[in-house]
Structure formats: structure tokens, C-alpha cells
Amino acid sequence: MAGGNWTRVNEFILVSFSSLPTELQLLLFLTFLIIYLVTLMGNSLIILVTLADPMLHSPMYFFLRNLSFLEIGFNLVIVPKMLGTLLAQNTTISFSGCAIQMYFFFFFGVAECFLLAIMAYDRYVAICNPLLYPVIMNQRTRAKLAVASWFPGFPVATVQTTWLFSFPLCGTNKVNHFFCDSPPVLRLVCADTARFEVYAIVGTILIIMIPCLLVLCSYSRIAAAIFKIPSAKGKHKAFSTCSSHLLVVSLFYVSLSLTYFRPKSNNSPESKKLLSLFYTVVTPMLNPIIYSLRNNEVKNALNRNFRKTLGLRNYIL
């Protein structure tokens, strides 16, 4: 920026929820700590149970393990720092720490978008082609699909983070958010960011809309196949196999779309923080609860492993 003043920023200040009273911040800390622990334990339990129980070695639970791993990573990137800002008022984050946080936020977020679409495709094959399902979704195919869901996160996160942090920053170093997201950091840039903003908008639309369209396409065909089932019991059984995933998809995409596609006039920093809390903190906690409470196979596996563990303990004693 010719003739302008700009400085090399060594650290940022996360405004987070510092405007709230101390008592309310402490209450938020306790609430988010409980949610964080439930998220870690719930998703870890899903991973362990689906690995340990031979009855859950199907493609659906292979992708569910991947989703749980993504949710754990998503939380580890954002929540510990947020808890620190609420409890110890440690609101500073280094320049490199902010860049790393943003990189992995994009990486895990993009990977989850595509993984949810692949999980919808898995349900489509299972319901619409049940006889060919073991052949189509063999071990090699599902491994390729998992890699395909993880891969887009690398170039998107690399380009977005590297490009944004190459801009000169001037004035305040306060990021009005509880983590280093792109829009609040972009407000600190003192250079022409028009090309970057176009790239960010187009990239966000493609990253959200392409998987979302794949999900809608899969579920439209699933719905058509379910309606052709003559018995009510058969329809209920077919729908129950994908209802958990459909609920998870709805929670994730709706909150994500409301966060990034709202008009700027209705998109205050505080409202964006609340919406961001939903898909970064609340949804990762709900996913294992939804899959365990609404899925009889997972509940039965949990019961079997609990009894097995309890029996082994009694034997040792």
C-alpha cells in the first residue's frame, strides 16, 4: 500500500467473549469444558467401539470413524484456546499460532464437508443397491473415498492461509472472534484484498454447495427407493439406516450456511460468534450422541463391549 503505514504483527488478540461479565465468562467456561470433554469421550468411544466390534466393520462405520476423528481434530484446534481465553484471560495468540489454527480449521472443515457427502453416497448404495453393496463398497473403494474426502482440505487450507497471511497488517491486532477465522483476520489487512475476497467467496460456495448437492442427489434417490418399498416396516427400516446421518448433515450444513452466507447487514460479529459456536463446538458433541442413541447396532455393540469389559474385570478380581 503505497505511502501507507503497516507493521509486522507478531501476535494477535482474540476478543472472544471479553465484553461479557467475568461471572458469565466463568459459566461459559464450565459449559464449554463439559461439552469439550463429552465431545472427546463420545467420538473416541465411537472410534474404539467400531474398531473393536466385528459387527461394526461395515463401510458405514468405517466412514463414521473418519467423521469422529475429524470432529476430535476440529475441537482440538479451536476449543482449548477458547477455554484459555475464558478462564485465564489469555487472549493473545502468536502470528504463527493464528496461521496454524486457521490452516487446520479450513482443513478439517473442508474434509468434513466432503466426508458427509461420501457418507450420503454410501447410504445411497446400501439402500438402492443392497445386493451389490459389499462389492461396490469394498475395502479398497472405501479407502479411496476416505482419501478423496480428506485431500481437498490440503490445497484449500494452504492457499487460503498462505495468501491471507502474506498481506500487510496495520492498526489494531485484535481479532473479533474466539478463533482465527478468515473474515475477522481479513479486516486487519491494509491492502487491496478484492481478488482474495472473490476467491474466498467462490471457494466457500463450491466447498459447501458441491457436497451439499451430492447429499441432496443421494437422498432424493434414497427417498424414491424407500417409497417403492411396499411394507411400512421395510420403509421404516430403510429410513432408520440413514436418519442419523441426515440429521448430522442438516445440523452441519445449516449452521455453516447461516454463518458464511448471511447478508452483511445481518451478520454482526456477535451473531457470527454464536453461529460459529454451533458448528465448531455443539455439533461435534451431538454427532456421537445421535449415532449412538438412534442406532441400534451401535447401542448393542456398546452393551456387548461393556459386558465383556465388566466380565473380564470380575474375572481378574
Task: Map grid coordinates 483476520 to a residue.
Answer: 185
User: In sequence order, what are the residues at sequence separation of 6 or more whose Cβ sits closer than 8 angstroms to the Cβ of residue 272?
Assistant: 177, 183, 259
Q: Could you report the per-residue pLDDT of 35-56, keeping only the tens digit for each?
A: 999 999 989 988 988 888 888 8
* pTM for the full predicted model: 0.87
The predicted model gives 106-122 an average pLDDT of 93
Q: Domain 11-302: what homologous superfamily? A: Rhodopsin 7-helix transmembrane proteins (1.20.1070.10)
The predicted model gives 199-213 an average pLDDT of 88
For the chain, percent of residues with pLDDT exceeding 90:
34
Report d(CA 31, CA 37) in Å as an integer: 10
Q: Could you report the per-residue pLDDT of 252-300, keeping only the tens digit for each?
A: 888 777 777 766 655 666 777 877 888 888 888 888 888 776 667 777 7
C-alpha to C-alpha distances, 114 to 42, 252, 262, 263, 295, nearest whole angstrom? 22, 12, 22, 25, 23
**Looking at the predicted structure, is the pLDDT value of residue 317 above 50?**
no
Report d(CA 17, CA 32) in Å as an integer: 13
pLDDT band at 4 (very low <50, low <70, confident <90, very high): very low
pLDDT at 288: 82
Distance separating the N- and C-terminal Cα atoms of the chain: 73
pLDDT band at 34 (very low <50, low <70, confident <90, very high): very high
- DSSP conformation letters of 88-109: S---EEEHHHHHHHHHHHHHHH
Q: Could you report the per-residue pLDDT of 216-242, keeping only the tens digit for each?
A: 999 899 888 888 888 887 777 777 777
Q: Give the cell for residue 59.
A: 463401510
For the chain, percent of residues with pLDDT exceeding 70:
89
